[in-house]
Structure formats: C-alpha cells, structure tokens
Amino acid sequence: MKIDILTLFPAMFASPFNESIIARARKRNLVEINTVNIRDFAQGRHQQVDDYPYGGGAGMVMKFDVLSRAIEKLKESNSHVIYLSPQGKKLDQNDVLRISPQEHLILLCGHYEGIDERTMQLVDEEISIGDYVLSGGEIAAMVLVDAVTRLIPGALGDAASSQDESFAGNLLEYPHYTRPSVYMGEEVPETLLSGHHEQIRLWRKKLSLKRTLLKRPDLLLKREYDQEEKKMLEEILFAREKTIK
C-alpha cells in the first residue's frame, strides 16, 4: 500500500511513523508513506494556502486551487482520497478493515476553519476519529495510518493477533495474563493454567461476551451469534454471580 499525506505540517509525522509496527512495515516495504507539503502547491510570492471566507466570519479557509493542484498531482487510477474532518463518518474497525486493502490512499489534513467546499468533489470519503475537534487533521491521519497499516498482511508479528482482537465481529477481546501466576496474592484464573485448550477457548469466549456486555453493550446488539454463544450469553445474563470480571 502507498499512503500520501497532504499536510501543512509534514514534520509532525516523523516520530510516530519511525517506531514500532509502522516502522517495521515500512522497512519490509509493506507500506510506503510519504508526507507532501500542501504549501508546495501554492503560488505567488507568499505561497498562500488559505484565505478569508467569502461572506465573512471567523477563521481562514484552505484554498481550492492549491488543494486541487496537490490532489491531482498525487492521484493515480487506483487512488482513494480521504479527507480527515470532524464532520466525517466516525471511524470504526469495520472502516479500517474496508480501507486497509486499498492500494493508494491520499489523506488530506485540513486546518483553520476547513477547506473550500469545492474540494469535496475530489474527495472519496470524509472520516472523523471522534466527536471532538482537533487543531488539524494530522493526528487523525496518524490514527488512520496506524490502524490500517497493522492490518496489512505481514505487518503484525503473529498473523492471528489481528483476528482475535477487540472489535473483531463486534466483540471485545478477552483478558490476558502472564507470569508470575501469583503476585501479592493475586492469582491468574485457573483455567488458563490448565493446558486444556477447549476449556481455555470456552473461557475466553465467555469472558469476551461478559466484557462486551459490561463495557460496550452497543456492540453486542450488532453481533451475529452462533448456538454456543447464545447459550453462553444466556448463562451470563441469568447467572447469579455478583461480579463480572
């Protein structure tokens, strides 16, 4: 996958993309990430990228001519252009799964009051990372790049680890434990030490359901259940135990 990021602040991206899984994916040529300075497409002595809004009002608007030149320069036949904005579709793991097979992403980071509306005809999709306003699209672009890159085959060490994880099939992931098995009187659940794979699988499935019920009941409504899970959910819902871990 190739990702071109159109931004006024390319330096912001240096360290997040040079660490951990993204750095490894880049080294393995699984993903090529370029930051492109929007100012390079501005004209005139002042290389102006923004201007006052027609009709008046506060703030500045990023110029259509500048953004249009930038996007058209980067666009290829297989490009998917995403504008990061608080007005976009709120990003979830299903979007990440849908976007991650794309061959070429162009991510447009807005600033100031926003972009000239005419730019939207060059945009395939508008994405928000949550209902709050950031000072620009850069951090949102980083979030999207991270979430998408780790799903590229080969990016994660253990291929299975993106299959079980939280949100896969609208379920949160089960709890994890590692050594020591007892610390300050706190014990690891016995089943996990048993070596009994089927019991461990059932325990994990049940804990996933419990956690999702407790922390994100909205997700459970979206899940499609098999018989085993229906039975487990029944047990959970009608259990008399007071604590749900």
Per the listing, tokens 């058209």 go with 72
Cα–Cα separations (whole angstroms), residue 226 to 97, 169, 205, 217, 223? 22, 12, 12, 18, 10
Nearest Cα neighbor of 113 from 49, 70, 65, 66 is: 49
Please, what is the minimum distance in Å from the beta carbon of residue 141 to ligand ADE?
8
Using CB under 6 A as the binding rule, whether residue 208 contacts ligand ADE is answered as: no
From the list 92-100, 133-141, 191-199, 234-242, the region that binds ligand ADE by CB under 6 A is 133-141
Q: Are 50 and 63 in contact (CB under 8 A)?
A: yes
Q: Which of 86, 169, 175, 189 binds ligand ADE (CB under 6 A)?
A: 86
Using CB under 6 A as the binding rule, whether residue 144 contacts ligand ADE is answered as: no
**DSSP result, 79-124:** EEEEEEEEEEEEP-HHHHHHHTT-SEEEEEEP-TTEE-GGGGGG-S
Distance CA 41, CA 61 (A): 16
The residue among 141 and 192 lying less far from ligand ADE, judged by its C-beta, is 141
Q: Which of 71, 82, 84, 209 binds ligand ADE (CB under 6 A)?
A: 84
Using CB under 6 A as the binding rule, whether residue 183 contacts ligand ADE is answered as: no
Please, what is the minimum distance in Å from the beta carbon of residue 114 to ligand ADE?
9
Using CB under 6 A as the binding rule, whether residue 119 contacts ligand ADE is answered as: no
First to last CA, the chain: 40
Using CB under 6 A as the binding rule, whether residue 114 contacts ligand ADE is answered as: no
Please, what is the minimum distance in Å from the beta carbon of residue 12 to ligand ADE?
13
Distance CA 219, CA 121 (A): 33
Please, what is the minimum distance in Å from the beta carbon of residue 33 to ligand ADE?
18
Q: Which of 66, 134, 145, 156 binds ligand ADE (CB under 6 A)?
A: 134
The residue among 85 and 149 lying less far from ligand ADE, judged by its C-beta, is 85
Q: Coil, helix or strand for 198?
A: helix
Please, what is the minimum distance in Å from the beta carbon of residue 156 to ligand ADE?
25
Output the residue with the shortest Cβ distance to ligand ADE: 140
Using CB under 6 A as the binding rule, whether residue 137 contacts ligand ADE is answered as: yes
Structure tokens at 23: 């750095």
Q: Where are the alpha helices (H) located in the chain, listed in sequence order?
A: 20-27, 64-74, 93-99, 138-149, 190-193, 197-215, 217-220, 227-238
Consecutive H or E run containing 32: strand 32-37
Number of residues interacting with ligand ADE: please give it, by CB under 6 A. Answer: 11
Note the residues at the interface with ligand ADE (CB under 6 A): 84-86, 128-130, 132-134, 137, 140
